[in-house]
C-alpha cells in the first residue's frame, strides 16, 4: 500500500478558521501579506471568500488528519493559485501537497480551461516545489516570480 493512498481535499468550512489563520501567521514571511492576521481579520476574509464565485479554498487531509491547504480562484479568465500552506511540517517532502495540487489543477482545468498562474515571493522555498510541479517562471517583479502551469504535464 502506498503511504499516499489516503488523500482527501475538502472545501474550507467555518471551523477551519483557526488552522488557516495559525498556518498563515506561522509562515507569513513567505507571503505578500506579512502582518499577523487577527481572528477578526480571518473571519472577515472568510465571510468574503464564501461570497466569491469561483474561489475555492481546499483543506488537505490524510487519514483524517488536516495537514495543509491550498486555494485557486478565477480572476479575469485565468486561475490564480494562492495560500498553499503545508500546515503540519512532518507531512512535508512525502508528496501529499504535490498530489493535492495536481487534484486542484485538474479541478480548475475541468471547471474552466483557462491558464493557471501564481505569484510567489522569490525568497519562498516553494519556488522550486512549484517548478517540480510543472510551473515555469514567465516573468518577475522585484521580489516575486510570476509562474504558469504547463497543462500538458497533467495529460502525460
Q: Report the distance separating Cα 103 and Cα 155, nearest Å.
A: 13
User: CB 89: neighbour CB atoms within 10 A?
Assistant: 11
User: 114-140, pLDDT tens digit by residue?
Assistant: 999 999 999 999 999 999 999 999 999
SS (H, E, C) 91-152: HCCCCHHHHHHHHHHHHHHHHCCCCEEEEEECCCCHHHHHHHCCEEEEEECCCEEEEEECCH
DSSP run (H or E) holding 50: helix 39-51
**pLDDT band, very low/low/confident/very high, at 1 (cuts 50, 70, 90):** very low
Quote the pLDDT of residue 108: 98
User: 63-116, pLDDT tens digit by residue?
Assistant: 999 999 999 999 999 999 999 999 999 999 999 999 999 999 999 999 999 999
Q: Which of 77, 96, 52, 70 is nearest to 11 (CA)?
A: 70
- Tell me the pLDDT of the chain averaged across its residues: 95
Res. 4: pLDDT tops 80: no
Quote the pLDDT of residue 155: 75
Q: Report the distance separating Cα 10 and Cα 60, nearest Å.
A: 7
Quote the pLDDT of residue 156: 58
Share of the chain above pLDDT 70, in %: 96
Amino acid at each position: 500500500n502506498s503511504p499516499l493512498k489516503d488523500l482527501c481535499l475538502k472545501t474550507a468550512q467555518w471551523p477551519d478558521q483557526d488552522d488557516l489563520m495559525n498556518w498563515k501567521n506561522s509562515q507569513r514571511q513567505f507571503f505578500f501579506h506579512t502582518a499577523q492576521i487577527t481572528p477578526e481579520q480571518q473571519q472577515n476574509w472568510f465571510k468574503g471568500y464564501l461570497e466569491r464565485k469561483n474561489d475555492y479554498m481546499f483543506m488537505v487531509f490524510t487519514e483524517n488528519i488536516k495537514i495543509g491547504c491550498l486555494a485557486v480562484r478565477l480572476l479575469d479568465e485565468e486561475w490564480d493559485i494562492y495560500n498553499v500552506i503545508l500546515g503540519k511540517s512532518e507531512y512535508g517532502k512525502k508528496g501529499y501537497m504535490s498530489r493535492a495540487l495536481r487534484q486542484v489543477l485538474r479541478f480548475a482545468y475541468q471547471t474552466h480551461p483557462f491558464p493557471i498562474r501564481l505569484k510567489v515571493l522569490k525568497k519562498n522555498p516553494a519556488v522550486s516545489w512549484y517548478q517540480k510541479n510543472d510551473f515555469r517562471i514567465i516573468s518577475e517583479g522585484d521580489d516575486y516570480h510570476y509562474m504558469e502551469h504547463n497543462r500538458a504535464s497533467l495529460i502525460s
